[in-house]
């Protein structure tokens, strides 16, 4: 096995990032949190406006991202998350980031990509596709805990409202709306521990790797 792609999609705070990192570590695959690409563009966009952004300008910001942009320590804030959701709906942004993601996905040694359109748009031929989800209250509680642990002042109702707004925007956008691929394995983490969720994902991938060796 030289190339093997795992596509993991799902809404915010579903657990897909944690599962993706664990899967990558288990199999020795490279990992890309594609949401960071959009968060980095969103952060740049906030320096221009907190409202509608010119699509061509947004695309230019995306085309000039650097690895240093992805390493910024403030990409997990609520304003940047909302900005990321807005720029992700801009076709010029998605086009600028498409090639990078596709190249990463087919790198030697295997790759795990997590995001919102990996299985449907970026890697429709991925060997394994997972769609990780949980109910919105559970996801809001997780995000609230993450934000407060990092010193951000907010409240659960605000986090829940922001999350629902983002869900609606992500699911209804014209460009690559959030939805599971027809052949994706659904992984609901509402009542599932992270260890159990990772174990289920690993089992699915091992089964597919075994099929590929037949």
Q: Pick out the residues of the known binding site for ATP.
A: 10-18
- Angstrom distance (rounded) from CA 59 to CA 51: 16
DSSP state of 151: T
- Angstrom distance (rounded) from CA 206 to CA 51: 45
- Angstrom distance (rounded) from CA 104 to CA 122: 10
Burial of 167 by CB count in 10 Å (0-12 exposed, 13-18 middle, 19+ buried)?
middle
Alpha carbon distances (Å) from 71 to 11, 65, 76: 22, 11, 11
> Which stretches of the chain are DSSP H helices?
16-27, 34-46, 55-63, 67-70, 78-88, 91-105, 136-149, 156-172, 194-212
Residue 129 burial (CB count, 10 A): 24
- Angstrom distance (rounded) from CA 5 to CA 49: 36
CB contact at 8 A, 22 and 47: no
| Binding-site annotation, residues | 10-18
> Residue 93: what are its φ and ψ, rounded to 5°?
-70, -45
């Amino acid at each position: 096995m030289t190339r093997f792609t795992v596509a993991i999609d799902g809404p915010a705070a579903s657990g897909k990032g944690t599962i993706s990192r664990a899967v990558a570590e288990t199999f020795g695959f490279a990992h890309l949190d594609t949401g960071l690409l959009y968060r980095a563009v969103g952060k740049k966009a906030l320096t221009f406006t907190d409202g509608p952004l010119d699509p061509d300008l947004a695309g230019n910001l995306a085309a000039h991202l650097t690895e240093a942009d992805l390493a910024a320590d403030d990409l997990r804030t609520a304003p940047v998350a909302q900005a990321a959701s807005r720029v992700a709906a801009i076709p010029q942004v998605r086009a600028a980031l498409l090639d990078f993601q596709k190249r990463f996905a087919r790198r030697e040694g295997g790759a795990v990509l997590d995001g919102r359109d990996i299985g449907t748009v970026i890697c429709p031929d991925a060997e394994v596709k997972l769609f990780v989800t949980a109910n919105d209250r559970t996801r809001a509680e997780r995000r609230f805990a993450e934000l407060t642990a990092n010193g951000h002042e907010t409240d659960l109702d605000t986090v829940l409202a922001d999350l629902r707004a983002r869900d609606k925007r992500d699911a209804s956008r014209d460009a690559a709306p959030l939805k599971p691929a027809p052949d994706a394995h659904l992984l609901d983490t509402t009542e599932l521990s992270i260890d159990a969720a990772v174990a289920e994902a690993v089992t699915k991938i091992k089964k597919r790797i075994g099929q590929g060796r037949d």
